[in-house]
Chain A
Amino acid sequence: MKIAPFCAAVLIATAAPHATAQTTPAGPNAPAARGIAGLVHEEIAGRPLARFPHFDFVQSYYAGLSIEAAVDTDRHPALVGQTADVYLCAHRDEAGWAASPVLVDVRGAFQTITFASGGVQANLLTLDNGLGSLSGDVGAGLGRALDVVIDIDRDARISTGDWVDGAGSTPGLWLLAPTTAPGPLTPVEVLYSGGSFLGQDLYYPSNIATMGELPLVVVSHGNGHNYQWYDHIGLHLASYGYVVMSHQNNTVPGTETASTTTLTNTDYLLGNLATIAGGVLDGHVDRHHITWMGHSRGGEGVARAYDRMFDGQYTPVNFTLADIVLVSSIAPTDFQGNANTNPHGVPYHLWTGGADSDVNGCASCNLCQTFHLHERATGARSSISLHGVGHGAFHAGSGGLFASGPCLLTRTETHAIMKAYLLPLVEWHVKGNPAGREALWRQWESFQSPGVPTTSCTTVDLMHRGTAAQRAVIDDFETNPALDLSSSGGAVIWDVQNPGQGRLDDVNSAFTTSPSEPMNGMTFSGSVADATSGMVFEWTGVDRSIVFELVPELTDVSAWRWLSLRACQVTRSTLTTSQLGDLDFSVRLRDVNGVVSDIAIGAYGGGLEEPYQRTGCGTGAGWANEWETIRIPLADFTRGAAALDLSQLSSVEMRFGPSAGDAQGRIGLDDVEFARD
């Protein structure tokens, strides 16, 4: 039976994107329990795209950049010819709107639109051009929450039949202050020592005595570094309402000892709040929301510290394992391997620099490969890879950058990127604030804070994966090693060239390309204990594809938000080096009725980045393979293909070659899945 498109849209919007309230937070458009009958929840705010699907419904914007809106009249043809008023309002949940339905536009005036046929391309509206009075400054918060309302009946009230983007547990959009800029609070820095290897550099808001309990971020430096070298982290986060403590770290003996100092310093701080800094922090540190950040040996040390607690080898006095809510490693070593340095299920995050000449990432040095810890993490995990950033650029101290390669970034440039990304990261994991979480996965080319370096040398690659409850895996390549069978048990039909599947580990000592080494440049796995596996393949001028047939449990994706995958260009392959640049290919969804819809991964503002063109580690140019997560909103596949039935998909297809993107390429592919956050 067919349902009128307008009604169908309403049904999809209310059913999606969360099927199980127990495991998922309320989504951006989930209606409140009490509200306004007949209110239509739709995504409206977003940004236009140069090609299909022509519009990207996103939730976060940096102040100073334009905010656009669109309505897909192909999906909602009943709107064509109607005139409505468009409001940008302070966010309320639906109950709040029901209690106070009068529309007040934060810009001072609403806009009027007459809907035309032609889908999103014909129904674009600039809500704010970035030059007006809108500001993302909302005190110590990360962003300003706004709802977009289309007042269909033009009565200046939100009511039955009106459209709203927002009015749920989260707003229609977040207008973010530039996350490179200091927050509204004045940070105070105090240097003190509680004893041997208890030197601490503490940062907190000057008015902390008037505040509640603030989350704690602990910074554990690397070998030859110093605990006074992390002002850029401490001052930045303190200005946004965090307590940051950077401590003396006993790194020279090794990462086990470093982990001890992470544990003892955290314990010391929490156990001596009544005396440290005159006791001003007493009662104002939230010991149940602790982030551990570590650099290099300290980056491994923080993960090791977590693992020691996880294994019951160390029991602190003043905090528990559950109090550690995020572990973030900057260019971590991996001395201790899978058995000892394992983040387990704690949210884990990685920073890595492509030009790092210390923890250099080369195939010859297993302990220098920074991704091992990330790949061991079984909980939510993210990474940020920065071309041209050396090991020393992550701290603010003296000494060299420990950098090798072209297009090097300075400390100032590196720190701007760190600030821009770190704040949304901790706000999401520590406070559950979703305002900036899109910064964890949206392509850097299309979503970056004002204030980050914009030179052509600035290349940033992001990976992000949610918890197991937030993913439905089609193929992670870690079981069913045959190429024609996915890990979820579905058939895989492929005609790509030179395919291989296995552990993502460059098994020799160089990045020199070789036909006999399909996993060249892969540095995710350090040993057989690290199981991360994936697929590599290529195409050369002819259309090729990989078809993942969906098992019955995966055919209904109406409860999921994205089709997600991660991929990389394979370093030093002639198919990579002969056309250095972003690489594009397409993803096709097919339903049981044979309806298909294709979207190119590059449509959202960037394909797969080329590897950093650093030499060494064998012959040729190009460093370790840099993976990126690509997330395509499932709803976007229905734009222009309204008949595509997301509740009855039959396959997900990766399409390569002249008809689908770049004519040639060699890439790695992993974690093909449906996702939601």
Chain B
Amino acid sequence: MRITHTITFLLLGAALVGVGSLALRAGAEPERTPAQRHAESVRQLVCAQPFTLDEAATHYYRAEQPRYDAGWLIVLDVDPAFVVARQTEEPVLYAGAQTLERVNHGSESGRVVCILPSPRGADGQPSLDLAAHIFFFGPEALPERIDALEAQHQLARAARSGTRPFTPDEVAAARACGGEALRVRSRDELDQLAGVLVLEHAPEDVDVGNGMLAPRVPGAAPATKPTAPRVK
């Protein structure tokens, strides 16, 4: 039986200090090791938008199932080979020692919309510094089984493989793409924004995006399913 509790993101964040600068991304050697492939698997931080939630939500991508009320709504460009949907275990996406929730798969476009929970800073905004964390795919596993110890283990492993954080310039560009800080009431409202991003960035996941944008009850009305993105 699971125990839901609040996790202290600050402790996890502190563990990351300095880790990101350990190594450069691997070059374009013809033959890459699996570790190098993992190091290169997250290619770009495309967009990043901070958010806060009036109603805390559960992060199901961790064994501890922590609650969170702030974070980043992110679009990543990744190696599509790492996000092919399958029923067996898939590579787990991390930012530092935290797992990301993958809203869509993005196995054709390589664009993955993610939710990265964060503690709030003194200003009430997410305090997790995107430039201080490395983004990487860890080994295949079920995210709901990843606990703090395992996440730390995978972080150290990724750091050793040469994964580096995004540069401040890269983060700034993503912030510019993402836009101003969001304040939403609930995870449901955040889902609808995420759905829009899926339709914009990962057209192959049109059903995911449209599914997230389905009319909210009681506004449901008999309708056939949309065949094209509602939002571009």
Residues on A lying within 8 angstroms of B by beta carbon are 188-201, 222-229, 248, 250, 252-257, 260, 272, 275-278, 296-297, 313, 331, 333, 335, 358-359, 365, 367-368, 391, 397-399, 402
Asked if B188 lies at the interface with its beta carbon under 8 angstroms from chain A, I say: yes
Which of B1, B61, B145, B216 is close to A192, meaning CB atoms less than 8 Å apart?
Answer: B216
Which of B101, B143, B187, B221 is close to A254, meaning CB atoms less than 8 Å apart?
Answer: B143
15 extra interface residue pairs, beta carbon distance < 8 Å, beyond A224-B107, A278-B220: A191-B223, A192-B220, A193-B214, A194-B216, A196-B187, A196-B188, A198-B188, A223-B90, A226-B208, A226-B211, A276-B220, A333-B88, A335-B142, A358-B87, A391-B87
Q: Is the CB of B215 within 8 A of A359?
A: no
User: In the complex, A193 Cα to B208 Cα: how many Å?
Assistant: 13
Q: Which residue of B lies closest to A314 (CB)?
A: B1
Q: Which residue of B lies closest to A206 (CB)?
A: B222
Q: Is the CB of A189 within 8 A of B215?
A: no
Question: Can you show 13 pairs from A to B with CB atoms below 8 A apart?
Answer: A189-B223, A191-B220, A192-B219, A193-B212, A194-B216, A194-B217, A195-B187, A195-B216, A199-B211, A253-B142, A254-B142, A276-B218, A333-B88
Q: Which of B117-137 contact A (CB under 8 A)?
A: none
Q: Which of A278, A359, A391 has the most CB of B within 10 A?
A: A278
CB distance from A497 to the nearest CB of B (A): 38
Q: Is the CB of A226 within 8 A of B207?
A: yes
Q: Is the CB of B187 within 8 A of A297?
A: no
Q: Is the CB of A190 within 8 A of B1?
A: no
Query: Using Cβ atoms and an 8 Å threshold, which residues of chain A touch B85?
Result: 223-225, 399
Query: Using Cβ atoms and an 8 Å threshold, which residues of chain B touch A260?
Result: 60
Q: Is the CB of A191 within 8 A of B214?
A: yes
Q: Is the CB of B143 within 8 A of A199?
A: no
Query: Using Cβ atoms and an 8 Å threshold, which residues of chain A touch B188?
Result: 193, 195-196, 198
CB distance from B104 to the nearest CB of A (A): 9
Q: Is the CB of A358 within 8 A of B86?
A: yes
Query: Using Cβ atoms and an 8 Å threshold, which residues of chain A touch B221?
Result: 190, 277-278
Q: Is the CB of B217 within 8 A of A196?
A: no
Query: Using Cβ atoms and an 8 Å threshold, which residues of chain A touch B144?
Result: 253-254, 256-257
Asked if B2 lies at the interface with its beta carbon under 8 angstroms from chain A, I say: yes
Q: Which residue of B lies closest to A260 (CB)?
A: B60
Q: Which of B24-65 contact A (CB under 8 A)?
A: 57, 60-61
Q: Is the CB of A196 within 8 A of B223?
A: no
CB distance from A250 to the nearest CB of B (A): 6
Asked if B160 lies at the interface with its beta carbon under 8 angstroms from chain A, I say: no
Which of B87, B191, B217 is close to A222, meaning CB atoms less than 8 Å apart?
Answer: B87
**What 9 A-B pairs are tightest by C-beta distance, nearest first?**
A224-B85, A192-B220, A254-B142, A254-B144, A253-B144, A296-B87, A195-B188, A226-B207, A196-B187
Query: Using Cβ atoms and an 8 Å threshold, which residues of chain A touch B8?
Result: none
Q: Is the CB of B87 within 8 A of A333?
A: yes
Query: Using Cβ atoms and an 8 Å threshold, which residues of chain A touch B224?
Result: 189
CB distance from A267 to the nearest CB of B (A): 14
Q: Is the CB of B216 within 8 A of A191?
A: no
Q: Which residue of B lies closest to A255 (CB)?
A: B142
Which of A193, A257, A368 is close to B88, meaning CB atoms less than 8 Å apart?
Answer: A368
CB distance from B63 to the nearest CB of A (A): 10
User: In the complex, A225 Cα to B87 Cα: how many Å?
Assistant: 10
Q: Is the CB of B220 within 8 A of A277?
A: yes
User: In the complex, A221 Cα to B141 Cα: how many Å?
Assistant: 19
User: In the complex, A399 Cα to B88 Cα: how many Å?
Assistant: 17
Q: Which residue of A lies closest to B218 (CB)?
A: A275
User: In the complex, A641 Cα to B28 Cα: how many Å?
Assistant: 80
Q: Which residue of B lies closest to A189 (CB)?
A: B224
Asked if B102 lies at the interface with its beta carbon under 8 angstroms from chain A, I say: yes
Q: Is the CB of A196 within 8 A of B220?
A: no
Q: Is the CB of A278 within 8 A of B218?
A: yes
Query: Using Cβ atoms and an 8 Å threshold, which residues of chain B touch A196?
Result: 57, 186-188, 190-191
Which of B87, B90, B102 is close to A359, meaning CB atoms less than 8 Å apart?
Answer: B87
Asked if B225 lies at the interface with its beta carbon under 8 angstroms from chain A, I say: yes
Knowing A226-B208, A253-B142, A254-B145, the reply to whether A193 touches B87 (Cβ < 8 A) is no
Query: Using Cβ atoms and an 8 Å threshold, which residues of chain A touch B191?
Result: 196-197
Q: Is the CB of A223 within 8 A of B211?
A: no
Query: Using Cβ atoms and an 8 Å threshold, which residues of chain B touch A335?
Result: 142
Query: Using Cβ atoms and an 8 Å threshold, which residues of chain B touch A297?
Result: 87
CB distance from A362 to the nearest CB of B (A): 11
Asked if B201 lies at the interface with its beta carbon under 8 angstroms from chain A, I say: no
Query: Using Cβ atoms and an 8 Å threshold, which residues of chain A touch B143?
Result: 252-254
Query: Using Cβ atoms and an 8 Å threshold, which residues of chain B touch A359?
Result: 87-88
Q: Which residue of A lies closest to B189 (CB)?
A: A196
Query: Using Cβ atoms and an 8 Å threshold, which residues of chain A touch B207?
Result: 226, 228-229, 397-398
CB distance from B105 to the nearest CB of A (A): 5
User: In the complex, A250 Cα to B85 Cα: how many Å?
Assistant: 13
Q: Is the CB of B217 within 8 A of A276?
A: yes
Q: Is the CB of B217 within 8 A of A223?
A: no
Q: Which of A222, A224, A255, A260 has the most CB of B within 10 A?
A: A224
Q: Which of B191-232 contact A (CB under 8 A)?
A: 191, 204, 207-208, 210-212, 214-225
CB distance from B132 to the nearest CB of A (A): 25
Q: Is the CB of A272 within 8 A of B208?
A: no
User: In the complex, A391 Cα to B215 Cα: how many Å?
Assistant: 30
User: In the complex, A335 Cα to B86 Cα: how many Å?
Assistant: 13
Which of B88, B214, B223 is close to A367, meaning CB atoms less than 8 Å apart?
Answer: B88
Q: Is the CB of B215 within 8 A of A192?
A: yes
Q: Which of B86-112 contact A (CB under 8 A)?
A: 86-88, 90, 101-102, 105, 107
User: In the complex, A245 Cα to B72 Cα: how many Å?
Assistant: 32
